[in-house]
């Protein structure tokens, strides 16, 4: 993409409503614009990152055996009355009425709808286990939306729902999602710690939040420092194997949110392993047994022919919220430092003197080479001054930057910069291209 043809409305000044780093940088970098309180339009740069985050989430769900579908955003109130949650959910639910006076709602979550889909489609234990997921926009009417995508009213969410014949099967499903989440956050460049958590309005008696440590986190969290070094399974993981040892390697060490914190157990840890910090929730998983299947009649016939309610779990990841979390965990004074896996562009080419024949030719050659290699380059061919170009590249977080100017070219070199470390090297253009196209 040529920057001269791209839509990138960068702000020089930080809007006064932006209170935390991710909100400030997403606005300044032209990633989004607020349309109403807690509701944002995703501009091209932000949308590119959102799609990359979404794809990583999707790939790990698929690898774990979950199957994707798509449910509507608008739900019938009657489904929620069946489960008993319509009146209990609170003012966060946006309730609406259509032209025929039918009560509807803008879904904040989908336990009721997926249970209805299941009960009308599945009759036998032979169709289990089953895990269905979708990635969908949701709405929760926060009383005080703030912090940009970290606490918005409209948000993109991956929610999955597992169905099993009994508790033992449900625990296997829970473990698969537990490990899939570990891998997802690892691929996003985040160290997410699973912590015992309150189940809230979802219900159930087994729940973990996946938390990244950040000073701007919304709640206090407590954990064993050993969790920061506990390894996450690699790509060769077999999801059909027994995942219990992996789950236990994380859950047998102390980690809890403020609501579930046990001060005595925490203080029993050696002092140098006690981590007390602020945390950002990036995922939440629940096992809630037959809470919804009992209420809504979601039953299957077992091997003995007797019908029984299925055991269920739900598993959520705030896809849009993850962008804010990544920025909170990875930035500096100059701007965003994207992990390579989700950077909006793989490489930036900075032409320091547009119109100079040699510089233009070198940049065009680099642009063609990088595009052919699938590195998705952003070519800054604008008439901005060099300082402004450097600032833009750092602000939007381009992982690699190839700086091409007439003086360097005369000496046979360009500048290659690695955004994450700030390291700069003067190398030939060929060497720079080889470096940024090599497989990591």
Phi, psi of 130 (to 5 degrees): -145, 135
Q: Count Cα neighbours of 336 within 13 Å in the Cβ-side half-sphere.
A: 32
Per-residue confidence (pLDDT) for residue 201, from 0 to 100: 52
Per-residue confidence (pLDDT) for residue 401, from 0 to 100: 98
- Asked if 402 contacts 416 with a C-beta cutoff of 8 angstroms, the reply is yes
Per-residue confidence (pLDDT) for residue 200, from 0 to 100: 58
CA 1, CA 48: separation in Å to the nearest integer? 12
Per-residue confidence (pLDDT) for residue 205, from 0 to 100: 58
Q: Kindly list the structural domains of the chain, giving each domain's residue range(s) and its CATH number in brackets, ordered by start.
A: 3-336 (3.30.930.10), 347-437 (3.40.50.800)
Q: 194-234, pLDDT tens digit by residue?
A: 998 765 554 455 899 999 998 878 889 999 999 999 999 99
Phi, psi of 93 (to 5 degrees): -80, 130
Its pTM stands at: 0.94
Per-residue confidence (pLDDT) for residue 438, from 0 to 100: 85
Joined together, the tokens standing for residue 281 give 């929730």
CA 119, CA 117: separation in Å to the nearest integer? 6
CA 3, CA 32: separation in Å to the nearest integer? 17
Per-residue confidence (pLDDT) for residue 151, from 0 to 100: 87
Joined together, the tokens standing for residue 116 give 């209805």
CA 418, CA 397: separation in Å to the nearest integer? 10
Per-residue confidence (pLDDT) for residue 15, from 0 to 100: 84
3-state secondary structure labels for all residues of 291-315 = HHHHHHCCEEECCCCCEEECEEEEE
Residues of the chain falling short of pLDDT 70: 198-205, 439-440
């Amino acid at each position: 993409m040529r920057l001269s043809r791209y839509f990138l409305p960068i702000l020089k000044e930080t809007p006064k409503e932006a209170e935390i780093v991710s909100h400030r940088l997403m606005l300044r970098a032209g990633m989004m614009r607020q349309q109403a309180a807690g509701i944002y339009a995703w501009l091209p740069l932000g949308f590119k990152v959102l799609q990359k985050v979404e794809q990583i989430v999707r790939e790990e769900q698929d690898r774990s055996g979950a199957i994707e579908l798509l449910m509507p955003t608008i739900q019938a109130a009657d489904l929620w009355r069946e489960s008993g949650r319509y009146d209990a959910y609170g003012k966060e639910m946006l309730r609406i009425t259509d032209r025929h006076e039918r009560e509807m709602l803008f879904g904040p979550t989908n336990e009721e709808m997926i249970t209805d889909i299941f009960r009308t489609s599945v009759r036998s234990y032979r169709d289990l286990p089953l895990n269905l997921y979708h990635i969908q926009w949701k709405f929760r009417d926060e009383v005080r939306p703030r912090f940009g995508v970290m606490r918005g009213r409209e948000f993109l969410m991956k929610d999955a729902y597992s169905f099993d014949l009994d508790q033992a099967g449900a625990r296997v499903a829970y473990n698969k999602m537990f490990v899939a989440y570990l891998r997802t956050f690892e691929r996003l460049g985040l160290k997410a710690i699973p912590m015992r958590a309150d189940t809230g309005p979802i219900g159930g008696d087994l729940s973990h939040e996946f938390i990244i440590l950040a000073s701007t986190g919304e709640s206090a969290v407590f954990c064993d420092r050993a969790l920061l070094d506990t390894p996450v399974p690699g790509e060769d993981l077999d999801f059909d194997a027994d995942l219990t040892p992996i789950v236990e390697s994380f859950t047998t060490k102390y980690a809890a949110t403020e609501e579930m914190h046990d001060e005595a157990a925490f203080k029993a840890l050696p002092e140098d392993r006690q981590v007390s910090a602020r945390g950002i929730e990036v995922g939440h998983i629940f096992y809630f047994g037959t809470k919804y299947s009992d209420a809504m009649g979601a039953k299957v016939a077992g091997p003995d022919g007797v019908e029984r309610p299925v055991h269920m779990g739900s598993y959520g990841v705030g896809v849009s919220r993850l962008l804010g979390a990544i920025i909170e965990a990875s930035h500096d004074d100059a701007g965003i430092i994207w992990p390579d896996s989700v950077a909006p562009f793989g490489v930036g080419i900075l032409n320091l003197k547009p119109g100079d024949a040699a510089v233009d030719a070198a940049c065009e050659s680099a642009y063609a080479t990088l595009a052919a290699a699938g590195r998705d380059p952003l070519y800054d061919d604008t008439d901005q001054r060099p300082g402004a170009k450097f600032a833009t590249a750092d602000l939007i977080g381009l992982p690699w930057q190839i700086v091409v100017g007439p003086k360097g070219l005369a000496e046979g070199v360009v500048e290659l910069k690695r955004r994450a470390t700030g390291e700069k090297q003067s190398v030939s253009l060929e060497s720079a291209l080889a470096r940024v196209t090599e497989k990591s």
